[in-house]
Amino acid sequence: MNETIITTSKIRRNILKTENSKVLIIDDSEDILFLVKNILSLESFLAVPVNSAIKALEIIDNTFDAIILDLMMPEMNGIEFLKIFRGKKEFSHIPVIVLTAKLNTEEEIAKIFEIGANDYVTKPFLKSEFTARIKVHVGLKKSTEDLYRTNKMLKRKYKDLQKAIKREETLNEKILERTVELKDANEKIEELNKALEYSATHDALTGILNRGAILAFLENDIRRSKRIKTSLSLLMIDIDFFKKINDTYGHLVGDSILKQLCNLIRDSIREIDLFGRYGGEEFIIILPDTNVEQAKILTSRLLTRIREHNFLTNKINLKITISIGLTEYILDESIDLIIERADMALYEAKQSGRDCMKIH
């Protein structure tokens, strides 16, 4: 068939090759505008800085592939801008990444998603994580646009087939050929949908579950444990002195360490366990049907394996350790409470010298 059909490899190209993608940066700080513009320009984005949300509404159009938005601004803040912007249907496909100094609670995070944000990054941010997030959202936008064009093509072919049948001018061979083409296109659209779903639920850098996906799985497992009265344990993991690694060796080495660590952890846990990136160098492991005593055995084994592993990157051989907070689900407690207890246990592990596990 003449028209181009979208494949999974094309989706990857959309995500990885975002040169000349146009990104609008909205922030009242000239320093932040300058910093973000430089970071994006180095990644071959076309960065357009603007120092107020009001000005942004005046220049925004469908040529932009993403918007980076500060929340705290005079005259019109980021929340007000989002409400107006998301009210315009013609811009519904443009992703908005919120840039904010701090989000204190899950309620604050939920609020920015409810009013139309696609993602958020807290200041100060890691350059590698920041650019990876922008690339993923720009790539998903382009893939969605490809899907829309493919659907239009399929509708056109379907109408052509109907007309041909009505005119009785189409030979059996041509009907069969068009039917095969439509079947092939539908299969490729199914591939696209699967790839889009994967991109929406997995961390772009490490390939493990992202924050939204791992928290959704945790909610499901909490409901399951409550319903069938089974144990559930949660691990909160943090890499010890990771900032020092980035400062000493650079973010490329830091990214390599993150990927190697995730592969090592993934190989160390059971098939029923769920592993995701909670943010930065923090990770979550969900242990279904596992009480705290059983979880202690797995945790001890994990600490030892990582402590003894050699992380090789750019001909540099590094040793790292992790700290772990362990907690077990208590009947009827909320997801916020079990995460808070795991986080408190992690804090205690850090205060106890790191490279250890604490239970809360």
Query: Catalytic residue positions?
Result: 281
Beta-bridge partner residues of 317:
312
Count CA atoms within 13 Å of residue 240 on its CB side.
20
Chain mean position to CA 321: 25
Count CA atoms within 13 Å of residue 182 on its CB side.
16
Q: How far apart are CA 250 and CA 40, in angstroms?
A: 18
Nearest residue to 196 (alpha-carbon basis) of 139, 242, 149: 139
Element (H, E) at 234: strand 232-239
Across the beta sheet with 232-239, what order do the strands follow? Answer: 274-279, 282-288, 232-239, 322-328, 357-359
Helices (H), the chain: 8-16, 30-42, 53-59, 78-85, 106-114, 127-167, 172-201, 211-228, 242-249, 251-268, 292-308, 335-351
Q: How far apart are CA 261 and CA 259, in angstroms?
A: 5
Nearest residue to 11 (alpha-carbon basis) of 155, 182, 151, 138: 138
Q: How far apart are CA 48 and CA 304, in angstroms?
A: 48
Tokens of 263: 């592969």
Cis previous bond, 95, omega within 30: no
Angle at 162 between CA 158 and CA 168, to 5 degrees: 145
